[in-house]
């Protein structure tokens, strides 16, 4: 009888472990660097074990959204928590903290403009706040960045400009240079945003970079992911070509699909697995 009771208890513990999920929080961060803004929204996914062991620290993935989207879209459309919980449960993903910043509200851009210093906000206020508020392993080896569309382009740019900060850069359908898009014709903010995209063009930066730059970029794990029907396809091919010419290692995947959540949702799954597999063994 004792043997059966012990088996039952172990079975229950396994079931609890299997079905224990992480949690998604919607929070704000204090802000002084964005003109007229005192706080900024973000979404954070905390893995299943976060509240169980208050001494444990975790890798962090910054997950950037696309143009005219929101920090909540990774959970709402990308099913972030469902994917992460499932991958953790089946052993394909290490437990990590995933943070989704907001970059659309008020001015949609991930870079510095004269009137909107978003890049400064991200690196000087947002990232330090996150890594002091949550139990993050605040080292390059445990920090990654990924995103889709404009967020994918920003991920690549952030990796190019700050290679000392990120272990993995994973770009999905990355918007890397300005394109004449129909839906931007009636957008009065499009010209300055398109100019910023071109000013920060990572393809040009990599092509013209010094050998010292190239050495730093080689220390980043680059993953470029784009659909074969995506309007960003040619620019992503040019980015990969720039990597090849400078001898920078990378991963490149082209799968069937376009510029939408039918592509980004499975790409998120791939990104979570890839980032996990690049983490150091503790």
CB 160 within 8 A of CB 202: yes
CATH topology of domain 18-277: Rossmann fold (3.40.50)
Using CA atoms, how far residue 106 sits from 32, 46, 102, 281, in Å, is 15, 27, 10, 41
* Mean pLDDT within 68-94: 96
C-alpha span between 200 and 176 (Å, rounded)? 8
pTM for the whole thing? 0.92
CB 50 within 8 A of CB 20: no
pLDDT classification of 89: cutoffs 50, 70, 90: very high
**pLDDT of res. 191:** 78
Helix (H) or strand (E) holding 45: strand 39-46
C-alpha span between 276 and 254 (Å, rounded)? 21
pLDDT classification of 1: cutoffs 50, 70, 90: very low
Tens of pLDDT, residues 60-69: 999 999 998 9
C-alpha span between 274 and 146 (Å, rounded)? 11
User: For the CA atoms of the chain, what is the radius of gyration?
Assistant: 20
Cβ within 8 Å of residue 107, ≥6 positions away: 113, 115, 116, 118, 189
pLDDT exceeds 50 at position 5 = no
**pLDDT of res. 194:** 85
- % of residues, the chain, pLDDT over 70: 90
- State both tokens at 194: 């398109």
Quote the mean pLDDT of the chain. 91
Range list of H helices, the chain: 2-19, 73-76, 80-89, 118-120, 127-133, 150-161, 190-199, 202-208, 211-217, 233-246, 261-277
Tens of pLDDT, residues 13-48: 444 455 579 999 999 999 999 999 999 999 999 999
């Amino acid at each position: 009888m004792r043997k059966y009771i012990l088996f039952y208890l172990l079975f229950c513990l396994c079931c609890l472990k299997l079905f224990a999920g992480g949690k998604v929080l919607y929070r704000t961060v204090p802000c002084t660097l964005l003109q007229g803004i005192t706080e900024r929204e973000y979404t954070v996914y905390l893995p299943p074990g976060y509240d169980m062991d208050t001494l444990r620290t975790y890798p962090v993935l910054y997950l950037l959204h696309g143009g005219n989207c929101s920090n909540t879209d990774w959970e709402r459309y990308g099913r972030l928590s469902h994917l992460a919980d499932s991958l953790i449960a089946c052993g394909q993903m290490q437990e990590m903290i995933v943070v989704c910043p907001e970059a659309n509200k008020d001015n949609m851009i991930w870079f510095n403009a004269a009137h909107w210093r978003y890049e400064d906000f991200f690196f000087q206020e947002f990232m330090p706040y996150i890594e002091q508020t949550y139990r993050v392993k605040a080292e390059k080896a445990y920090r990654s960045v990924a995103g889709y569309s404009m967020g994918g382009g920003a991920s690549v740019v952030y990796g190019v400009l700050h290679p000392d900060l990120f272990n993995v850069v994973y770009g999905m359908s990355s918007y890397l240079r300005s394109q004449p898009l129909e839906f931007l014709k009636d957008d009065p903010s499009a010209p300055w945003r398109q100019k910023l995209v071109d000013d920060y063009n990572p393809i040009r930066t990599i092509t013209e970079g010094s050998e010292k730059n190239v050495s730093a970029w080689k220390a980043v794990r680059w993953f470029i992911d784009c659909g074969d029907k995506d309007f960003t396809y040619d620019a992503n091919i040019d980015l990969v070509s720039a990597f090849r010419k400078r001898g920078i290692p990378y991963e490149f995947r082209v799968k069937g699909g376009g510029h939408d959540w039918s592509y980004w949702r499975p790409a998120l799954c791939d990104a979570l697995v890839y980032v996990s597999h690049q983490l150091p063994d503790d």
